[in-house]
């Protein structure tokens, strides 16, 4: 089985989902080739879109504009109009190069982990049908804009309660598979809190709050970290995962606050989750799914909005997390949750109930039914 995964470099989540599928493929004796779909438009366009995405997520003023713009796009998604969007038409121009790539390579299946790539592949298949499984994987807990513009034979949705939403947006029922969002195997192998703290050098009796806002360290992370550090109990530690945001890391290191531990990019996120009494993050689709698979008390702050707002809403509605809409509200809720172990334990209980299945394997079975 040779699988092509078409992703996009707009946030690490899509690539993380791709990595989870690649793990399964390799374990089953198959192989994966991961390709940036936007490169079929041009490398310059891909680079520009990625740069805009990073700037958007790290700039608080731009995220406010993004929230309003996304709300308009989401409303248009529910519109019954059949006319393709500008973005859909633009992505269609990349279908020519994609068709050529598919002709020149012998793949047994294609998986798209971003609506951009799913629309592009759909356009390519209109002119060059292929007798292999082709699927779209939704990595946010909503039917986001552009999803109705794809027409692949399989549409993998992140939660069974979202089926009616996808149907209302025009997704054909026979294509829908409620697989969940795949996470790498490391997020499904939980360590004890004591073991994780020993590895990371965190005192076994400390209150450890871990703050992480995506791989890019986005949103008002600096103000949030400083206000949290100031409001926590004296014996509490605030670990801030800055991701690739080197400016944020330098600022927090320079502050030299006693109970604040800033980290740069780290591959030990699963261990930091295990070590945490409370994990604070923005509701990115992969971020919250990884946390739920790991089983960690979650406080979500909806600083970016857009497609993360439905993630936020579903996780609060289902009891997988508690959360606030703005950064200034975080310290108060953080103190509440730290003083109420039962509320934190309930979140973990509900996560364990609803995230016990291996989503990566469920998706792999679309391509290899005998797995």
Residue 221 has pLDDT above 60, yes or no: yes
CB 175 within 8 A of CB 146: no
In the beta sheet, which residues pair with residue 154? 135
Q: Are residues 85 and 193 in the same domain?
A: no
The pLDDT value recorded for residue 80 is: 46
Same domain membership, residue 249 and residue 270: yes
Can you give the pLDDT at residue 68? 53
In a shared domain, residues 212 and 339: yes
Query: Do 227 and 97 fall within a single domain?
Result: no
Residue 52 has pLDDT above 80, yes or no: no
Give residue 307's pLDDT band: very low, low, confident or very high (50, 70, 90).
Answer: confident
Of residues 87 and 322, more confidently modeled: 322
- The overall average pLDDT reported for the chain is 88
Question: What is the band of 83 on the pLDDT scale with cuts at 50, 70, 90?
Answer: very low
Same domain, 228 and 338: yes
Poorest-confidence range of 209-213, 272-276, 293-297, 330-334? 209-213
For residues 158 and 222, state if they share a domain: no
- Over residues 13-22, mean pLDDT: 89
Q: How confident is the model at residue 78 (pLDDT cuts 50, 70, 90)?
A: very low
Q: Residue 217 has what pLDDT?
A: 46
Q: Counting every residue, how long is the chain?
A: 371
- Tell me: do 178 and 215 sit in the same domain: no
Domain extent at residue 240:
188-354
Most confident of 24-38, 158-172, 212-226, 259-273: 158-172
Which domain CATH number covers 343? 3.40.50.2000
Q: Are residues 197 and 181 in the same domain?
A: no
Going by pLDDT thresholds of 50, 70 and 90, the confidence category of residue 71 is low
Which pLDDT belongs to residue 11?
A: 64
Please tell me whether residues 282 and 162 are part of one structural domain.
Answer: no
Total domain count, the chain: 2
Query: Does 3 score more than 90 pLDDT?
Result: yes
179 and 301 within one domain: no
User: Once rounded to an integer, what is the mean pLDDT over residues 92-111?
Assistant: 93
- The pLDDT value recorded for residue 15 is 84
**CA 243 – CA 236 distance, rounded (Å):** 22
Phi-psi label, residue 319: left if phi above 0, alpha if psi -120 to 50, beta otherwise: left
- pLDDT value of residue 51: 61
Asked if pLDDT for residue 30 goes beyond 90, the answer is yes
pLDDT score of 258: 85
In whole angstroms, give the CA distance from residue 323 to residue 329.
9
Kindly tell me if the per-residue pLDDT of 246 is higher than 60. Answer: yes
**pLDDT > 90: percent of the chain:** 64
Q: In angstroms, rounded to a whole number, what is the distance separating the alpha carbons of residues 87 and 69? A: 14
Is the pLDDT score of 81 beyond 50? no
pLDDT at 306: 85
What pLDDT, in 10s, does the model give residues 190-202?
A: 999 999 999 999 9
96-110, 150-164, 191-205, 223-237, range with the lowest pLDDT: 223-237
Contact 54, 25 (CB under 8 A): no
CA distances 237 to 200, 204, 213, 234, 330, Å, are: 13, 11, 17, 8, 16
Please check whether residues 74 and 166 belong to one and the same domain. yes
Q: Are residues 173 and 272 in the same domain?
A: no
Q: Which residues contact 238 (CB under 8 A, 6 or more apart)?
A: 209, 211, 225, 228, 229, 232, 259, 260, 261
Sign for the pseudo-dihedral over CA of 17, 166, 283, 67:
positive
Band (pLDDT 50/70/90 cuts) for residue 66 is very low
């Amino acid at each position: 089985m040779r699988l092509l995964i078409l992703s996009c470099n707009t946030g690490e989540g899509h690539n993380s989902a791709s990595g989870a599928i690649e793990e399964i493929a390799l374990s089953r004796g198959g192989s994966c080739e991961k390709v940036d779909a936007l490169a079929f438009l041009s490398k310059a366009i891909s680079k520009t879109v990625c740069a805009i995405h990073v700037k958007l997520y790290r700039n608080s003023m731009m995220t406010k504009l993004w929230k309003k713009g996304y709300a308009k796009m989401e409303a248009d998604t529910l519109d019954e109009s059949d006319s393709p969007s500008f973005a859909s038409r633009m992505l269609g121009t990349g279908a020519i190069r994609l068709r050529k790539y598919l002709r020149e390579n012998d793949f047994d299946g294609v998986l798209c982990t971003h609506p951009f790539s799913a629309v592009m592949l759909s356009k390519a298949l209109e002119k060059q049908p292929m007798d292999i499984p082709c699927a779209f994987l939704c990595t946010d807990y909503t039917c986001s804009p552009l999803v109705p513009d794809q027409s692949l034979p399989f549409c993998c949705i992140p939660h069974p309660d979202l089926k009616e939403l996808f149907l209302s947006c025009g997704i054909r029922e026979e294509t829908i598979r409620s697989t969940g969002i795949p996470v790498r195997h490391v997020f499904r192998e939980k360590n004890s809190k004591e073991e994780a703290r020993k590895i990371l050098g965190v005192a076994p009796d400390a209150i450890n709050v871990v703050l992480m806002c995506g791989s890019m360290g986005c949103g008002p992370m600096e103000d949030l970290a400083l206000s949290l550090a100031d409001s926590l109990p004296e014996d509490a530690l605030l670990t801030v995962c800055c991701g690739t945001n080197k400016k944020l890391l330098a600022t927090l290191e320079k502050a030299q606050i006693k109970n604040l531990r800033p980290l740069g990019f780290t591959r030990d996120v699963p261990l930091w989750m295990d070590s945490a009494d409370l994990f604070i993050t923005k509701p990115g689709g992969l971020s919250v799914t990884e946390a739920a698979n790991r089983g960690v008390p979650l406080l979500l702050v909806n600083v970016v909005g857009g497609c993360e707002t439905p993630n936020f809403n579903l996780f609060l509605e289902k009891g997988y997390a508690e959360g606030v809409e703005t950064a200034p509200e975080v310290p108060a809720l953080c103190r509440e949750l730290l003083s109420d172990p039962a509320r934190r334990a309930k979140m973990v209980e509900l996560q364990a109930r609803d995230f016990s299945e291996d989503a990566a394997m469920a998706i792999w079975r679309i391509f290899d039914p005998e797995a």
